Amino acid sequence: MTGRATDTPRWVLHVDLDQFIAAVEVLRHPDLAGRPVIVGGRGDPTERAVVSTASYEARAFGVGSGMPLRIAARKVPDAVILPVDHAAYTAASDEVMATLRAQPDAVVQVLGWDEAFVGVATADPEAYAENLQHAVLARTRLHCSVGIGDTLVRAKNATGFGKPRGRFRLTAENWLDVMGERPTIDLWGVGTKISRRLEALGIRTVRELAVADTAPLAAEFGPKMGPWYRQLGRGDGSNVVDDTPWVARGHSRETTYQQDLVARDAIEAAAQVLLAQVLDDVAAEGRPVVGLGLKVRYAPFLTKTFTRKIAETHDRATVIAEASILLAKIEPDRPVRLLGMRAEMAMPDDAREGHTPTRSGW
Q: Sign of the CA dihedral 186, 192, 193, 197?
A: positive
Give CA–CA dist 112/153, Å, rounded.
Answer: 16
- List CB contacts of 187: < 8 A, sequence separation 6 or more: 153, 157, 179, 206, 209, 232, 233
Give CA–CA dist 47/37, Å, rounded.
Answer: 17
Known catalytic residue: 199? Answer: no
Q: Which of 134, 102, 94 is nearest to 118 (CA)?
A: 102
In this structure, which long-range contacts are made by residues 348-352, counting pairs with CB atoms below 8 Å and at least 24 apart in sequence?
348/247, 348/287, 350/244, 351/244, 351/247, 352/242, 352/244, 352/246, 352/247
Alpha carbon separation from 191 to 3, 163, 345, 355 (Å, rounded): 34, 21, 26, 18
Give CA–CA dist 120/31, Å, rounded.
Answer: 38
Going by the DSSP 8-state scheme, the letter that residue 7 receives in this structure is S
Strand partners, 39: 53, 82
Which of 25, 57, 115, 208 is labelled catalytic? Answer: 115
Residues catalogued as catalytic: 115
